[in-house]
Structure 1
Amino acid sequence: MKSVGSNTNTYKLIALDMDGTLLTEDKVISAENREAIAAAMEAGKTVIMSTGRGVQSAMPYVNELGLTTPIVAVNGGEVWEAPGKLLSRQLLAADTVRSLHAIAQKYDVWWWAYAVEGVFNRESESMDIDAKHWLKFGYYTENLEKLKQIRETVESWGTLEITNSHPCNIELNPSGISKASGIEAVCKLLGISMSEVIAMGDSENDITMIRAAGLGVAMGNAQEEVKRIADITTVTNEEHGVAKVIHEYMLKP
């Protein structure tokens, strides 16, 4: 078990998942969370987004909070040194995307894919796989047997990082690419260690960063596996869990 720091000077950076963590179910940042983030920044702490979303989807919230800090996007597929300044990008091979797309068609499930050029899904009219630079592929179905079969298939390849952001989906990045690898790159950039990081999340794609951080926090609404591996579990995203953790572990005198 990790040694969890009690001194507010222990933690210099907080990495926040967005959906189910920072955001309410209505996809807004509560006044409580916004005020706590502003207080953390005022106290010299670094606040970053670490999300499965693409950077374009994350930016309205980054701008709302006035953040100019690094961003970990698409589960670590991209790391931004600051908004508009790319640090690193890890792509899925076109052949891999072609195979993943074929699986979606075979099982007749909803799929989506993040590319540098935009977001594509089952309703996209055309998708020239070879012409795009692919970052992440995902499936969604409430048919858990289909989901299990798809997961077993892609696991058998041994070439992908496999997670979810909801119990009914699967998210796929290149092997070794995760929110943890993204935050590690940010720490290197800022000259701090992972032991000085708080990471908060609710889904399987948050597990790597929660495990690697000095303080790994599961939301009260998190999937059970996330709660099991976290150092602590806080209140839900509807109860301003981010604000609670910032006040308790970064700002308490």
Structure 2
Amino acid sequence: MLALDMDGTLLNEEKEISGENRRWIGEASRAGIAVMFSTGRGRQSALPYAEQLGLETPMVLVNGSEVWRTPNELYKRTLMPLDWIRTMRKMALDYDVWYWAYAVQGIFNRENWPKTPEAEEAMGWLKFGYYSENPVKLPAIRKTLEGWGTLEITNSHPFNIELNPLGISKASGLRDVCEFLGLEMSQVIAMGDSENDLSMIREAGLGVAMGNAQDEVKAEADAVTATNDEDGVARVIRRYIFGLE
């Protein structure tokens, strides 16, 4: 199985799948490799790319809060308690930073938050995030949240924080996928560039960091490939699946 992060990994800086990556994903799929997404994105934004590649494989979405058997069949969903969401949103407002949250019904942020408590309650909340380039605010928020002891705290960019329930990660999602596909994590190649990819890079048989990855990710990976603008995914498929240089 080949598990791919999307932003900063499969997708180039224009948020596109290059022709070379598309070609070699097709080759891997035809060779019997289950090529799948393992991403912080929700289904609404990940699905068009799966369709573009013709993938009917599982998907690990929202950093593991959703696991799909196929792009259209949900296997597992882990929701975040509403009181956590409300407390994290209040913290964002207090610190005056950008925030967003994924729910089953869509993605919400500072500009389109549900208007009433009843509307908030109607949502199935999956993940919360903060963004700030302020060197003081983001570390302060993170330190407070670490004190809760109930959250997986990662990022998908040096200037953000992403929150999932404790124990929910891309690795936990891939373990679920391996279980229903009859695979072992040792049979997985996992590729990514950010802190939210670390769990799967650590647990996969081969964990690969992108050339544009954060330094911590590169330090823990088994291998480092080219950047997302240099067809790093295609290079890994060529080298580690087909033995080509």
Following TM superposition, the consecutive aligned residue runs of length 4 or more in structure 1 with deviations greater than 2 angstroms are: 125-129
Structure-2 separation of matches of 1:22 and 1:113? 23
> Secondary structure, in 3 states, of the residue corresponding to 2:13?
coil
Partner of 2:130: 139
Give distance in 2, aligned partners of 1:123 and 1:205: 25
CA distance in 1, matches of 2:216, 2:103: 29
Q: Secondary structure at the match of 2:229?
A: helix
The residue number in structure 2 matching 1:7 is none
1:31-180 to structure 2, matched below 5 A, reads 31-124=19-112, 126-127=114-115, 128-180=119-171
- Specify whether residues 195 and 98 from structure 1 end up closer, same or farther in structure 2 by C-alpha distance, changes over 3 A only: same
Given that 1:164 and 1:204 are in contact with CA atoms closer than 8 Å, whether structure 2 keeps it comes out as: yes
CA contact (8 A) 1:97 1:129 kept: no
Partner of 1:221: 212
Is the 2:152–2:168 contact (alpha carbons within 8 Å) kept by the matching residues of 1?
Answer: yes
- CA distances 1:58-81 after superposition (whole Å, capped 9, x unpaired): 001000000000000000000000
SS in 1 for 2:147: helix
Q: CA deviation at 1:129?
A: 2.2
Per-residue deviation, 1:185: 0.3
- On the 8 A contact 1:43/1:251 being kept in 2, the answer is no
CA distance in 2, matches of 1:21, 1:240: 9
Q: Does 1:249 align with 2:240?
A: yes
Correspondence for 2:178 among 174, 180, 187: 187
Moved more, 124-133 or 68-77: 124-133
TM-fit CA distance, 1:125: 5.1
Alpha-carbon shift at residue 209 of structure 1 (Å): 0.1
Quick one: distance in 1 between partners of 2:217 and 2:100? 24
| Paired AA for residue 32 in structure 2 | G
TM-superposed CA distance for 1:131, in Å, is 1.6
Q: CA deviation at 1:84?
A: 1.2
Normalised by the size of structure 1, how large is the TM-score? 0.94
Note if contact 2:114-2:120 (Cα within 8 Å) is conserved in structure 1: no
> Which runs of 5 or more structure 1 residues have no equivalent in the other structure?
1-12
Match of 2:11 in 1: 23
2:178 alignment partner, SS class: helix
Aligned residues: 241
Q: 2:198 maps to which residue?
A: 207
**Runs of 5+ consecutive residues of structure 2 not aligned to the other structure:** none
AA aligned opposite 1:115: A
SS of equivalent to 1:144: coil
Residue 14 of structure 1 corresponds to which residue in structure 2?
2
Return closer, same or farther for 1:125/1:225 CA change in 2, 3 Å cut-off: closer
